Amino acid sequence: MQMLENYVLGSWVTGDGQGQELYNAVTGESIATASTKGLDYNLITNYAREVGNKNLRKLTFHERGRMIKALAFHLQNHLPKFYDISYKTGATKADSWVDIEGGIGNLFANASLRRKFPDENFCIDGDSHNLSKGNSFMGVHLLVPKEGVAIHINAFNFPVWGMLEKIAVNLLAGMPAIVKPATVTSYLTEAVVKEIIASGILPDGALQLLCGSAGDLLQHTTMQDVITFTGSATTGQMLKSNPHILANNIPFTMEADSLNCMVLGDDVTPDMPEWDIFIKEVRKEMTTKAGQKCTAVRRIFVPENKIEDVQIALGKALAQTTIGNPLNASVRMGSLAGKEQVKEVKAQLQRLLASSQIIYGSLDSVELIDADATIGSFISPILMLNENPFASNDVHEIEAFGPASTLMPYKNMYDAIELSKMGKGSLCSSIITASAKNAKQYVIGAGTHHGRILVLNNDCAKESTGHGSPLPLLVHGGPGRAGGGEEMGGIRGVKHYMQRVAVQGSPSMLTAITNVYQQYAKGNHDGIHPFRKYFEELNIGDQLITAKRLITAEDINKFADLSGDQFYAHKTFTNFEGTMFERQVAHGYFIMSAAAGLFVDGSDLGPVLLNYGIDELRFTKPVYVGAEIYIRFTCKEKLPQDTKDENDIPKGIVKWLVEMIDETEELVGVATILTMVKRK
């Protein structure tokens, strides 16, 4: 029988012994066995740190991002192979799309984040802070990649997405990964990793795979490592409380299955589009991946005067869900991941039935297409009704991890909010409402107990990604039972794998360390106008001190006429008594325009292609008639850009610090302007 391989220490190897036997969830046929017995986890973790980490730390964010992008394109070329294997997990084509292409989409999304980072292997975190009156002492926070390995322990429901959404982030941050998928569906993860390794895109040691037991892996972790876990709250708590992890303060991010809820607003009636949106969303969230999703809806809260109508509508909707072999095009819901999952779901449902009743579906029978219920891991969608949700703890504490959910009534929005909180923390919640008042009340009231809230109505339903879809640029996680952690979240997710360090020193020293110009640092004056230099020729700190310009009443009046900005403070004969100003004051935008006139060198064509925008523009002091201003213009930061095709002009974005200074040597304005500059 085929034995799944583990990818460790740069080689594909099998574990010792017979291992755990894995089965086709639809046909019951044996697929392979999986074992990690005999693997040396001390060598594996050290290899990740000594080889993988050092290789990734050499790369900049931009290089890592392009690497991840290339990997995403490569995996797209092998989609048919992945889909063929995914069917064996019981997933329909739609389920597989979420898992496989959703995972690859995470790679693309995180690859694009490279533009938010410098072309360095570290980055500045937040604003710089001036710590002295004389501007000679300051502080800044840096983020540097940790020197360890990210260990990802994933659940069975998303063998591809669960891996890719995590490694995309740690790779961008500069850390290698050891992935340990749930054994029952690890054969799909193995197939994807084989293609990743075969591509040669990742450096040595960047990714290792364990198909089988994690053994004593966590005992070999250090304070530089990061552990993430996706799965049941019970297992997560057990791992998180490992004495070795606690003693060494090893970061542990948990994303646990939770009792997510969906609320039908009390403003929604059966004749409104939001009614149909609600019914479709509940059905989708109960049946996608056969309900085996950490974000699936488990609790459904409906106004008590609409409970019967919702019960009827949901019953009709669920009856349209065809179940069976996912290779049959007419099937809309496949099987659970395995027989053990069926057994576990039924056991939990029996516990829930102590306080609830089944109003749709059956524990004992299910009508299938092209499948045998005695062989495959199938179960009917189960909709239950609990008429006293405030008096029933079980429905807020017990999760049946399958196509099962419980319908419950509420009296008003205050009750709906309190019921949502009784789940003790969830990954996500949704409210379907056309009322902005209801939406705001729910979001603010329930926000403390949910990691993400979807407000769904007719305006956004067509393009909404839905209740159960975590997105790469938004945090995925939740408080309490949901694990207390967060994943993804764009730049926020990357920071989980980096160490924040506060650095103090002089502006010039911190400029040299960060390669970003810090205000009041010494400038470079080489006699060449910065706009005469190509992108590669510019150095951080290259500086121009301009000539001075006298600000006159004629300037201000002309700018007012040209712009149409006739604000009272810019008029010559305004009575300024009781205002903030002493006399006629120049427009801030005129001062910025005059600044451009002082620092721009446009005598002939040069490397500067265009003005890309202005950030952080502030006017700090009024400029009156008779003032003289000059500009301190400094190269602050350089961001390379990828060429789109062979016809694209090689270029980069340059950020410039523009300091507008008057005759008293005080700042009257400051801004960061961006220009697009040609490469040689």
Annotated catalytic residues are 255, 294
Residues in the chain: 680
- What is the SS3 string spanning 447-487? HHHECCEEEECCCCCCCCCCCCCCCCCCEEEECHHHCCEEE
CA gap 124, 491 in Å, rounded: 12
Backbone φ and ψ for 452, nearest 5 degrees, come out as: -150, 140
Cα–Cα distances in Å, from 434 out to 13, 301, 408, 461?
A: 56, 16, 21, 11
Nearest C-alpha neighbor of 423 from the set 630, 188, 261? 261
Q: Are 257 and 221 in contact (CB under 8 A)?
A: no
Angle subtended by helix axes 553-563 and 588-599, to nearest 10: 110
Would you give the distance in Å from CA 580 to the centre of its chain? 45
Roughly how many angstroms between the first and final C-alpha of the chain, as a whole number? 59
Largest CA distance in the chain: 94
Q: Are 428 and 260 in contact (CB under 8 A)?
A: yes
Render 286-345 in DSSP notation, one character per residue.
HHGGGG--TT-EEEEEEEGGGHHHHHHHHHHHHHT--BB-TTSTT--B---S-HHHHHHH
Strands 20-23 and 11-13, bridge-based pairing: unpaired
Strands 543-545 and 177-180, bridge-based pairing: unpaired
The pair of structure tokens assigned to 489 is: 């979240």
Give Cβ neighbours of residue 232 (< 8 Å, ≥ 6 apart). Answer: 155, 256, 257, 401
Type of residue numbered 312: I
- HSE toward the beta carbon, residue 568, CA cutoff 13 A: 9
Residue 646, Cβ density class (10 Å: 0-12 exposed, 13-18 middle, ≥19 buried): exposed
* Residue 639: how many other CB atoms lie within 10 Å: 17
Q: Return left, alpha or beta for 200; rule: phi > 0 is left, psi -120 to 50 is alpha, else beta.
A: left
Would you give the distance in Å from CA 309 to the centre of its chain? 37
CA gap 502, 523 in Å, rounded: 24
Q: Are 626 and 534 in contact (CB under 8 A)?
A: no
Nearest C-alpha neighbor of 613 from the set 530, 673, 546, 669? 673
Backbone φ and ψ for 313, nearest 5 degrees, come out as: -65, -40
CA gap 44, 41 in Å, rounded: 5
CA gap 184, 265 in Å, rounded: 39
- HSE toward the beta carbon, residue 380, CA cutoff 13 A: 18
Q: At CA 519, angle to CA 517 and CA 522, rounded to 5? A: 70
Give the DSSP letter of residue 20.
E
